[in-house]
Amino acid sequence: MYEQIDLKRECEAIEIPSGIRRVLSASSRVRISQFLGTSYTVVGDMGCMFRIDAKDADALGLTPPAADEKTSDGVFAEPMVWAQLKTVYDPEIPVNIVDLGLIYSCEITSRETTAQEQGGKKIDVKMSMTAPGCGMGNVLKADVEGKLARLPEVKEVHVEVVFDPPWSPDRMSEAAKLQLGFDLDYGKSSVTGISR
């Protein structure tokens, strides 16, 4: 586990799991619990969890990672989509949203070329959350849209958060189940908050 850090400056954060935006004051004490993808999950003195975007790493006394830019080089291929989706993580669980089973469908279509616009690719994603009341839905949705929009030839991305069928741990990959400590014979996890 990471040591306590006093924030070097005021910074915006998103409370987990409510999804409410907050401003953490300078000198607030936090502990980093994970850094995966493009954000830090931190725990405050009172036990509240927050997500701090990587662009605000300096508030934690860290060097911000290089910003993602549009990957216009290369030719679009479907594996690129899945690779990008695997860089989006649940802020409470150190598993990407693909292995967590949150992606219900991903349809890639070619757009027609018109006099006003080039064709390009359109990606439609249906995804879920581990719990219907999770306030992080719009945050993860924006992460997916932003990452997929950076792919070459992609002109349009639509992400819909759905809850039918309800998510269950059965949707997780075997690797995710092992990482989270699931007993594959009995389907139980030692991770708090996840059960079959």
Backbone phi and psi for residue 93, each to the nearest 5 degrees, phi listed first: -120, 125
Q: Which residues of 105-114 are buried (b: 16+ CB within 10 A; e: fewer)?
A: ebebeeeeee
- The pLDDT tens digits for 14-58 are 999 999 999 999 999 999 999 987 899 999 988 899 999 999 999
pLDDT score recorded for residue 184: 67
Is pTM beyond 0.75? Reply is yes
CB 51 within 8 A of CB 40: yes
What's the pLDDT at 98? Answer: 97
Does one domain contain both 44 and 100? no
Give pLDDT, residue 196: 36
Regarding whether 82 and 10 lie in a shared domain, the answer is no
Total structural domains within the chain: 2
Whether 85 and 163 map to the same domain: the answer is: yes
Residue 87 structure tokens:
């860089």
Residue 183 is predicted with a pLDDT of 73
pLDDT, one tens digit per residue, over 132-182 is 888 999 999 999 999 999 999 999 999 999 999 999 999 999 999 998 898
Please check whether residue 88 lies inside any domain of the structure.
yes
27 & 89 share domain: no
Asked if residues 194 and 92 have their Cβ atoms less than 8 Å apart, the reply is no
Do residues 127 and 159 touch, judged by C-beta distance below 8 A? yes
Do 100 and 148 share a structural domain? yes
Instruction: Spell out the residues 6+ positions from residue 42 whose beta carbon is closer than 8 angstroms to its own.
Output: 5, 13, 30, 31, 32, 33, 49, 50, 51, 52, 60
Residues 83 and 159 in one domain: yes
Phi, psi of 131 (to 5 degrees): -145, 135
Residue 194 pLDDT > 60, yes or no?
no
Q: Whole-angstrom Cα distance, residue 56 to residue 94?
A: 20
Percent of the chain past pLDDT 90, that is, above it, reads: 69
Peptide bond preceding 91: is omega within 30 degrees of 0, i.e. cis?
Answer: no
Query: What is the distance between the alpha carbons of residues 126 and 144, in angstroms, rounded to a whole number?
Result: 11
Q: Report if residue 188 sits inside a domain.
A: no
Structural domain containing residue 36: 4-60
The SS3 call for residue 163 is coil
Token look-up 């839905």 returns 137
Answer for the pair 30, 51: CB distance below 8 angstroms, yes or no. no
Say yes or no: 87 and 56 in one domain.
Answer: no
Query: Which pair of structure tokens corresponds to residue 129?
Result: 């959350």
Is residue 100 one of the residues assigned to a domain? yes
Q: Does 88 share its domain with 26?
A: no
We report the CATH number of the domain holding residue 143 as: 3.30.300.130
